[in-house]
Amino acid sequence: MATGKVRVAAFSVSLDGYGAGPRQDRNHPLGVRGPELVQWLFETEVFKTMYGQSGGATGIDNDMARQSFEHVGAWILGRNMFGPVRGPWKDNSWKGWWGDTPPYHVPIFVLTHHARAPLAMSGGTTFYFVTDGIESALRQAREAAQGKDVRIGGGVATVRQYLTAGHIDELHLALSPVFMGAGEHLFSGINWHELGYAPSRTVNGERATHIFIERAR
């Protein structure tokens, strides 16, 4: 069976390089001012349809959002992307930010230091909690994807780990016209050129500029 790509897709970054705002908590899933980074996505038909809403823009940004979900067979998320709960799981009451039917519909592998039983949700999404590192999570995700792509969903620290380990084949960054000034910085201390990455194309959307970066194989 052919192996799909490992990719980051529709990952929003500010003009000053931040992929999330500071002080993430239950009231600020993306950090303070974080929603400003993904405003381009919130306006799309793809996003509104995922959450049972009607309307939404159908232009280039929408096309970019739709393509980000195509051919994805599994996701990998950092624990902060799953929720604001820290330390050992006190119980299983927290089931993610997305309600009973998360918009993934494929297996999700969550990086954590604390074991938890798999969590099956409506719509085909099952969360698996991986305690033995990024390599194990990637191996499990590849197997679950069955030849489709593995999408590294974030957050910033998780993307950086897979990036510096050389595991990401392609990144689609949505450059949002906002300065964050603080938060989690995607680019700091990473020599993209030495890692073999180079921009391959740029697409100008209505509310974001979509930059595609590939690693030489």
User: What is the amino acid identity at position 158?
Assistant: T
SS3 at position 209? strand
Q: What tens digit of pLDDT does each residue of 41-98 get?
A: 999 999 999 988 999 999 999 999 999 999 999 999 999 999 998 899 988 899 999 9
Cα 70 to Cα 25: distance, rounded to the nearest angstrom: 30
**Residue 216: its pLDDT value, please?**
84
Structural domain contains residue 49: yes
Neighbours of 179 (CB within 10 A): 12
pLDDT at 1: 58
- Give the global pTM: 0.95
Residue ranges with strand state E in 88-208: 107-111, 119-120, 126-130, 149-154, 170-176, 184-185, 197-204
Note whether 148 and 69 are within 8 A (CB).
Answer: no
**Based on the structure, what is the number of domains in the chain?**
1
Under DSSP, is residue 39 helix (H, G, I), strand (E, B) or coil?
A: helix
Domain that holds residue 127: 6-84+101-215
Mean pLDDT across the stretch 182-195?
Answer: 96
| Any domain includes 11 | yes
Structural domain contains residue 94? no
Q: Tell me the average pLDDT across 185-204.
A: 96
The confidence score (pLDDT) of residue 197 equals 96
For the chain, percent of residues with pLDDT exceeding 90: 92
96 occurs within a structural domain: no
* Residue 1 placed within a domain: no
What's the CATH number where 166 sits? 3.40.430.10
Residue 35 DSSP code: G
